[in-house]
Structure 1
Amino acid sequence: MRILILGGSQFLGRAVAARACAVGHDVTCAARGVAGPIAAGAHFVMIDRDAADGLAPLAGETFDAVVDVSRYPGQVRRAVAALKRPGVHWTFVSTISVYADNRIPGQRADTAPLREPVAAEIEHSTDAIYGAAKVACEQVVGNDSFICRAGLIAGPEDPTGRFAYWPTRLARGGEVLAPGSPDDAVQFIDVRDLAQWIVHAAEVRLTGIYDGIGPIRKRGEFLAECAAALNASCTFTWVDGEFLEAHDVRRWAGPRSLPMWLPLPDFAGFLTRDTSPAREAGLTSRPPGETARDTLHWLRESHGPVIGLSSDEESAVLSAWHVRNAAATRT
């Protein structure tokens, strides 16, 4: 099968190309070529998706399947106009950020309400309109495609450094600052599992809308499994969200954050998606410890990015927490 990946030079796009090549497909990656190298065995075509004629280098080519990971409505509109033809299987990688309600746990892709899409004249996207821009992209692609709404994607080559914080921190051992409660939910997908499913979807010509995320796990079990896989000796100190926010510990990602943590109940539904339809359609998930181990190995080999609390910042928050608890005990 001839597969075109619009992108293919970074993280998920490259993982999809690597998987497709590994199982014997003829893979073309079309991109600007600045984000990184494409997967071994794939063909590279240089394009500029922001230009009106930026897809011209693909003119005359025929493909059995197309995979698009863009967040920009203008790019998606031009790709659909130039490349979407009867008989071509189309995958669009969207996001769970398209959903309007993040509070209710257990929502499903086929029934959960969506954000309003950005206006038709919007070409690009920013973090502020990311979800709304992806809704607009989905509408352009249409319901005859495979729309994969990915959650947090983890694993080797992750350019965001979010998941990477945890294996890096756990590997140091000792007292670990853990957010919220051990029973709080976490949900993510290994990039290699998501890539395998995307290639499978093209092979079986799967269509429909699915949430591409792993199973719901308890945070305490997730951290314990990852620590065990890394042979790390850790103790976990669980600190409530109100205290964390009062001490300027930030949510989800970025400097001074505890990655993969979101305040409850405002985000009780964000990491508790019902992904049973995706599992029934072939999505599988490896153990979290395997993702943590492989991510840490990649980080050490490549010096990849890690974001989150520094060691000194974590120590300061833990000290403040213990001081508060000691004072409460005395009273």
Structure 2
Amino acid sequence: MQKILVIGGSRYFGKTLVTRVRDAGHAVTVVNRGSSAPPAGVGHLVADREDEDGLRAALGRRAFDVVVDQVCYTPRQAAVARRVFAGRTGRYVMTSTMEVYDPATLPGPPAGGRVPVAEEALDPVRAPLAPRAGGLGPAHAYAEGKRRAEAVFLREPAFPYVSVRTAHVLGGGRQDFTGRLAHYVERIAAGVPVDVHEAPYATSFIHHEEIADLLHWAAGQSFTGPLNAASHGAMDVTALCEAVGARLGRRPRYRVVGESAAASPFSFDRAYAMDNGRAAALGFGFGRVADWLPGAVAEAAP
């Protein structure tokens, strides 16, 4: 049995992760700002992770085998966590994102062409800094925040550290607060055209239960460094729409947008797929998008 702390874990696949860890027999504690209580059998600490003194006070003398950080979005949050948990945990797993590879805020495509990007394509410590707040849109600011947060943990390691760079998470019906899959289901069901690029690139996806399983698995391993988390079978937006249409019994309609114009959530005009070879080689068995996507579509249907 391990003592595991989950920072966040109050919605979407974070809730699934907490349940998985509890049901596996571990002593799990959740720390959040008190917006929601964890499930039965799970410890609960109330603190604002950006309030260093308050977080220390909430933790008291507690120490953990593993900390799984679900809600680290900025270098400030990472710096607080690095100081607070130094000497308190034997392993730190941060839920990062595939957006850290976003070529819109890096000097050129990370892997070139349509080749799925591997972990070594990005070293957050050496990555050039993008403009500060105000110079980036929300999506790019999110990517830059995650990159800088990873860099804080890597620059002066205080504990064994893993960054799980997760693909686009789908499934869970109303649990999916992003509404991205629902965007396609609603439009295709209603016969409304989906905005796509003329030649969209493939991107990577993962099921909400699969990413929870991977985070649980990563907590119990000994490897360190970045880890791509994506189901097998990257697909572009038209393949996604065709799968949605097949499940709904409706033919998708498309409207092509101009170069660099805004399109639907998963339509990309640049390379946007990840190589999951490292996690697979370490022993995690990924599913295939084509196998779980129909069920995810059914959950998102009105």
| Residue aligning to 2:169 | 153
Alignment match, 1:226: 244
Query: Is the counterpart of residue 293 in structure 1 residue 299 in structure 2?
Result: no
Runs of 4+ displaced beyond 6 Å: none
Question: What does 1:83-94 align with in structure 2 at a 5 Å threshold?
Answer: 83-85=85-87, 88-94=90-96
- CA deviation after TM superposition for structure 1 residue 48, in Å: 1.2
CA contact (8 A) 1:182 1:221 kept: no
Aligned to 1:235: 251
Q: Structure 1: where are the runs of 5+ without partners?
A: 252-257, 301-331
Q: State the alpha-carbon separation in 2 of the partners of residues 8 and 299 from structure 1.
A: 25
The one-letter code sitting in structure 1 at the alignment partner of 2:33 is R
Q: In 1, Cα distance between the equivalents of 2:258 and 2:16?
A: 38
Counterpart Cα distance in 1 of 2:296 and 2:41: 22
Q: Which amino acid letter does the alignment assign opposite residue 97 of structure 2?
A: T
1:164 aligns with 2:174: no
CA distance in 2, matches of 1:289, 1:181: 27
Trace 1:104-119 onto structure 2 (pairs within 5 A). 104=112, 105-106=114-115, 107-112=117-122, 115-117=127-129
**What is the aligned counterpart of 2:148 among 111, 132, 136?**
136
Q: 1:9: Cα distance to partner?
A: 0.8
Q: What is the root-mean-square deviation of aligned Cα atoms in Å?
A: 3.1
What CA distance in whole angstroms lies between the structure 1 residues aligned with 2:191 and 2:206? 27
**SS of the residue 2:119 aligns to:** coil
Q: Which amino acid counterpart does residue 74 of structure 1 have in structure 2?
A: R
Asked if residue 27 in structure 1 is aligned to residue 43 in structure 2, the reply is no
Matched-pair contact (CA < 8 Å) for 1:47–1:57: yes
Displacement of 1:183 after TM fit?
7.5
1:125-179 alpha-carbon deviations (Å, 9 max, x no partner): 9655322222221122226311111232222212111122223344x26575462
| Residue of structure 1 aligned with 2:267, choices 261, 266, 275 | 261
What SS is found at the alignment partner of 1:167? helix
**Aligned-partner residue type, residue 78 of structure 1:** V
Instruction: Return the index of the structure with the highest Cα Rg.
Output: 1
Partner of 1:92, secondary structure, is strand
- 2:171 partner letter: G
Distance (Å, rounded) in 2 between the aligned partners of 1:283 and 1:76:
29
2:68, 2:93 within 8 Å by CA — same for their partners in 1?
Answer: yes
Equivalent residues, number: 277
CA shift for structure 1 position 33 = 2.3
Correspondence for 2:79 = 77
| 8 Å CA contact 1:181, 1:219 repeated in 2 | no
Identity of aligned residues (%): 22
User: Deviation string for 1:227-285 (max 9, x for gaps)?
Assistant: 44x3x21113344332994xxxx33xxxxxx22112x2xx2x22x22222222231513
Aligned 8 A contact 1:48 1:54 in 2? yes
Give 1:217 deviation, angstroms: 2.2
TM-score normalised per structure 1? 0.72
Rate the CA distance shift 1:95–1:294 in 2: closer, same or farther, 3 A: closer
The one-letter code sitting in structure 2 at the alignment partner of 1:260 is F
**Superposition pairs of residues 1-331 of structure 1, within 5 angstroms:** 1-34=2-35, 36-55=36-55, 56-69=57-70, 70-85=72-87, 88-99=90-101, 100=106, 101-102=108-109, 104=112, 105-106=114-115, 107-112=117-122, 115-117=127-129, 127-142=139-154, 144-156=160-172, 157-170=175-188, 172=189, 174=191, 177=194, 179-180=196-197, 184-215=201-232, 216-228=234-246, 230=247, 232-242=248-258, 245=261, 250-251=262-263, 258-262=264-268, 264=269, 267=270, 269-270=271-272, 272-281=273-282, 282-288=284-290, 290-294=292-296, 296-297=298-299
Counterpart-to-counterpart distance in 1, 2:296 and 2:218: 25
Taking the aligned partners of 1:53 and 1:86, their CA distance within structure 2 comes to: 15
Distance 1:62 1:86 in 2: 4
The 1:60–1:2 alpha-carbon spacing in structure 2 relative to 1, beyond 3 Å, is: same
Whole-angstrom CA distance in 1 between matches of 2:224 and 2:93 = 8
Question: What is the CA–CA distance in structure 1 between the aligned matches of 2:259 and 2:67, rounded to whole Å?
Answer: 47
Ranges in structure 2 where 5+ consecutive residues have no aligned partner: none
Give me the TM-score of the superposition, normalised by structure 2.
Answer: 0.78
Aligned residue for 1:261, secondary structure, equals coil
User: Against the structure 1 CA distance between its residues 175 and 160, is the aligned structure 2 distance closer, same or farther, given a 3 Å change threshold?
Assistant: closer
Aligned with 1:147: secondary structure? strand
1:174 and 1:286, CA in 2 relative to 1: closer, same or farther beyond 3 A? same
Single out whichever of 97-106 and 47-56 deviates more from structure 2: 97-106
CA contact (8 A) 1:178 1:238 kept: yes
Residue 30 of structure 1: how far off its partner (Å):
0.2
